[in-house]
Amino acid sequence: MHIQIQCCGIVLMLVLFYFYMRQKRISLNTQKAFLSVFWATFICIAVDILSIETIKYQHIFPELFVKFAAKSYLVTLLGVALSALAYMYVDIYTREDIHRQKMRKYLILAGIAVLGTYAVPIHFHYAEDGKSVMYTHGPSLYVTYGMALVFFVTIFYLLKKEKAKINPRRREAVCIWLLVWIASSQIQFMYTEILIVGYAGSIGIMVLYLKLENPETNLDRSTGLFNSGALYQYTRQLYAMDEDFSTLVILFENNAYQNVPLKKRDRIRMEIAEYLLKLPDTLTFKAAEDEFFILFPDTRSAEEKTSEIRKRFQSGWGEGSTCLVQPCWLYLPHSNVVDQAEDLLYLVRYHRQGSKEFSDSDFLSIGEDSVAQMNQERETEQLILEAMENNRVEVYYQPIFSTCEQRFTSAEALTRIRDKEGNIIPPGVFIDIAEENGMILRFGEIVFEKVCLFIQKHPPEQYGLHYIEVNLSVVQCAYEHLAQDYISIMEKHSIDPRYINLEITESASTNAKRTLLDNMETLIKYGVHFSLDDFGTGQSNLNYIVDMPVELVKFDRSMTNAYFENQKAKYVMDAAIHMIHGMNLQIVSEGIETAEQYQTMEDLEISYIQGYYFSKPLPENDFIHFLENRH
């Protein structure tokens, strides 16, 4: 009987351990649990060797000792099964106290099984006639195998039941590990001369190591800092353990490297990473290409170190410290303003996107207010999503009066959403958020489709309307498939395009403007008309009127109101009216609330009037009644 296979297992594990210890690691509970499985397997193989040798040389050793060694091997098998179970529980329940509590009953069961294993008899068979045969049998084995089976079945059960909570890579690795064990014990059962269970255990450990416990998978290769996966696992663990910590995020937006030549950037980033790596009592993670997270155990050290780091950045990097890097800083003094790692990461994303808040300074401290705002926006996001999914997007119509025809000749479609309780939410609450997260594309289509259905149901000319104005968001304007999508919707509902007037506002970027112009060209060819909305708010200026093929210019409420309050505004509006009329375009004045305001606008030869003076935006049916009564 040879023990070479077992020895190979021992060597393999020692090599793995060498690599494991050489790597830079963070203290993760799962890694501690992995080490337990590792040592349990290692001891199991070592005791296996001892047991084989004592059985082989049973004539030298006292019988009691030989039996003790054989039973100890069985007990170590239980240890492996138990540590594997603990390894699963750590992943499911990150909180240490909970997984300890969950493991307690299995520990008691294991304790009883250990006592049972030592108490009942064991027999072994050994013969070396041609090929060596060795096996143990007897009640001691049944106790151990029975209990190990309970543990393995529990692991399989957990893998299935807690699927959602277990990291999928861990599930896969543990499954492979268990299958290797089961297959090897099956082989050993059939061919008693091959004692491979111990070796299979070490192969299993190698699978776990390679698939998930290799500390290198937590490292960013280029900088040697911990990576985003490690950040998530580690912060998840800190939250699970209710540990408050402080975070500093360094954001290397493009403008951070204003005077750093492109070629040098990588070297500078390495230098920064090396500096951060050496900071004592901190953990630094490279969460994304341009985002470093530094975690501090408490606010006092966080504040001291933050000012130290910022000072270091002021003194420049690279050769002769000539390169200044000016990143943005996000500082979170207390991690417990949010409840979980996902929210912490979301919070940073959220503040990055809203980087307008950085406009005045490059340092932003996140407190409860910012979190409240973020949560509010998340709720709104949810509200929009639910409204879209459950057909709770509504369209109201505000009539527009023609001063020439002295009747209502058009209307503006204005959206609202209804929440679960039936309350109406105005667009001011959700349009910006829908624009930020891109939902506005789908949302805009829903509104447009509803307007088309309305036109289909109530042909506008029956009510004296020439067209319906529909708002387009800047995000939609910059979407290259907008024209095609809107044309498809009109075709689907057989809508004559002359009934549609789309309101645009000014886009900031030239690229977006180019796409908008392409969209407009296609839609105008199809027969749709355009207005320029929000004139006088800074969203739209005279230049834009010159460049854009619009037929109507809509004066924003703030502009018309200023006309009545401010002499300067009056001059501006008079000049604007003159110029717009000069370009042969017509004007809609929004926000007209009184007869006096109406009269003034009419005297200024404004073609169309929109405002509460006539009507607020109305739900579909009310709007139809309004038109029927007025005509």
Binding site for Mg ion (CB under 5 A): 471, 503, 533, 554
Candidates 473, 519, 531, 589; binder of ligand C2E (CB under 6 A) is 473
Candidates 147, 533, 573, 626; binder of ligand C2E (CB under 6 A) is 533
Q: How far is the CB of 426 from Mg ion (least distance, A)?
A: 13
Tell me the C-alpha to C-alpha distance, in Å, between residue 275 and each of 225, 269, 291, 292, 586: 11, 10, 15, 12, 63
Q: Looking at residue 556, what DSSP letter applies?
A: P
Q: How far is the CB of 523 from ligand C2E (least distance, A)?
A: 16
Torsion angles phi and psi, residue 397, rounded to 5: -125, 130
What character string, x for contact with ligand C2E (CB under 6 A) and - otherwise, covers 487-526? ----------------------------------------
Q: Are 100 and 86 in contact (CB under 8 A)?
A: no
Could you tell me which stretch among 48-56, 195-203, 274-282, 609-617 binds ligand C2E (CB under 6 A)? 609-617
What residue spans of 221-298 are helical by DSSP H?
A: 228-240, 265-277
Nearest CB to Mg ion, comparing residues 471 and 589: 471
Q: How far is the CB of 534 from Mg ion (least distance, A)?
A: 5
Residue that has been written with the tokens 């498809």 in this structure: 488
Contact flag: residue 586 with ligand C2E (CB under 6 A) = no
Handedness of CA 167, 170, 176, 178 (dihedral sign): negative
Residue 473 binds which entry of Mg ion, ligand C2E, none, with Cβ cut-offs from 5 to 8 Å by kind?
Answer: ligand C2E
CA 4 from chain centre, in angstroms, equals 50
User: 418 pairs with which residues across the strands?
Assistant: 424
Residue 552 binds which entry of Mg ion, ligand C2E, none, with Cβ cut-offs from 5 to 8 Å by kind?
Answer: none
Could you tell me which stretch among 14-22, 271-279, 363-371, 610-618 binds ligand C2E (CB under 6 A)? 610-618
Q: Are 338 and 365 in contact (CB under 8 A)?
A: no
Candidates 91, 291, 506, 590; binder of ligand C2E (CB under 6 A) is 590
Contact flag: residue 138 with ligand C2E (CB under 6 A) = no
Residue 426 binds which entry of Mg ion, ligand C2E, none, with Cβ cut-offs from 5 to 8 Å by kind?
Answer: ligand C2E
Q: Report how far residue 304's alpha carbon sits from residue 72's, in angstroms, rounded to the nearest whole number.
A: 54
Nearest CB to ligand C2E, comparing residues 51 and 473: 473
Q: How far is the CB of 271 from ligand C2E (least distance, A)?
A: 46
What character string, x for contact with ligand C2E (CB under 6 A) and - otherwise, covers 381-410? -----------------x------------
> Cβ contacts of residue 349 below 8 Å, gap of 6+?
none
Could you tell me which stretch among 114-122, 151-159, 311-319, 426-434 binds ligand C2E (CB under 6 A)? 426-434
Rama region for 618: left / alpha / beta (φ>0; ψ in -120 to 50; rest): beta
- The DSSP-derived string for 22-77 is HS-----HHHHHHHHHHHHHHHHHHHHHHHHHHHHTTTTS-HHHHHHHHHHHHHHH
Q: Report how far residue 256's alpha carbon sits from residue 274's, in angstroms, rounded to the nearest whole number.
A: 18
Q: How far is the CB of 260 from ligand C2E (least distance, A)?
A: 39
Nearest CB to ligand C2E, comparing residues 184 and 597: 597
Name the site residues for ligand C2E (rule: CB under 6 A): 398, 414-415, 426-428, 431, 444, 447, 471, 473, 533-534, 557, 590-593, 610-612, 617
